[in-house]
Homo-oligomer: A and B are copies of this chain.
């Protein structure tokens, strides 16, 4: 194998002719991403976006900066053969926005480090995916379509990142948010007696994934371009392919000071509620009959399925938690109780009795 630097030089000396006739490769892609990111809007907090050694951001006086990074890897977090490219872009950003939502932070900027095999970086359609051209937009263009559409919806400028050739597709999303000092929603604030709430419904992402897997088994997809989703399946797959991060609901809760603790349901209710209990030093009881189960999902999917990106939060018993926040249903599903060596950390209460609810979410390297 030749050296990294030696590869660099040989790759470059071969392309010096092309360079004179115009930018190719990474620089051309970066120029295009820069233009698309600018077109999607930079907002008041980004003083300097893509193009220098660092981006420069500012937040308001008295605000803290919330930072989260989420790594998505082909074969682990998404499948190139199943997931439409725009859904992968959407999901990558949704993961990060959901972490901001769980802190009650407003989005300030996103950064994306993207590693792609050469064939996915492909030839960029100079008119973009939205042009009427019959020529299909490239994978990377459709990936950014999905990511930037969600970024626009939540006014989150793409302010930087990195791009590299990689044997596998991998995307690390970084989200910066702002929250008034000392006011962020934390995992650690729940107390015995607090009621437990969840936004929206649970299990829909897991049910959608099962359906997607079934569709993949009956079609012969191009291994690199994702399934074509028939219209009749769109609704059933939406919660999996295009989850809506609960940014508005997190902001609402933080502004009203109603939540004592919060986390997003990314690894599954059983796992994320366990995290909340561990960080708060309490135990929890969940009433099975109260769970808002997504249409088409099983109770197992609602309890253990990940990637719903709903908000799980607690509030004092006398807090006036509404039935809806910013258009999304809020359901009380149980209560926090005192931690004790005699009790499971999370108990599921069913008509048949009480049983321990084991964390069954995903663990890497298990």
Q: Which residues of A contact B (CB under 8 A)?
A: 1-6, 8-9, 11-13, 15-16, 18-19, 24-27, 29, 47-48, 51-59, 61, 64-71, 73, 75-79, 99-100, 102-103, 105, 109, 111-115, 118, 121, 159-168, 170, 172, 174-177, 179, 181, 184, 186-188, 206, 209-210, 212-213, 262-264, 279, 304-307, 358-366
Contact = CB atoms under 8 A, between A and B. Distances in A.
A176 B121 CA distance: 28
B361 A12 contact: yes
Contacts of A48: 184, 186
Contacts of A112: 69
A13 B56 contact: no
B166 A304 contact: no
Contacts of A113: 69-71, 113, 172
A147 B16 CA distance: 36
A69 B160 contact: yes
B3 A213 contact: yes
B76 A55 contact: no
Contacts of A69: 111-113, 160-162, 172, 174
25 contacts: A4-B77, A4-B209, A5-B206, A8-B361, A13-B360, A19-B358, A25-B363, A26-B364, A52-B186, A53-B68, A53-B102, A54-B66, A54-B184, A57-B67, A58-B65, A67-B159, A67-B176, A68-B160, A69-B113, A69-B160, A69-B172, A71-B114, A71-B164, A121-B364, A162-B172
Given A51-B279, A71-B164, A264-B53, A365 B65 contact: no
Contacts of A186: 48, 52
A232 B88 CA distance: 49
A90 to B, nearest CB: 16
A257 B78 CA distance: 48
A12 B67 contact: no
Contact of A105 (B54, B167, B359): B54
Contact of A47 (B64, B79, B177, B209): B64
A271 B336 CA distance: 58
Given A6-B213, A172-B172, A364-B25, A64 B58 contact: yes
A71 B163 CA distance: 7
Contacts of A279: 51-52
B11 A71 contact: no
Contact of A100 (B13, B54, B78, B172): B54
A362 B53 contact: no
A247 to B, nearest CB: 12
Nearest to A15: B366
A319 B125 CA distance: 47
Contacts of A68: 53-55, 160
Contacts of A25: 363-366
Nearest to A304: B9
A175 B71 CA distance: 16
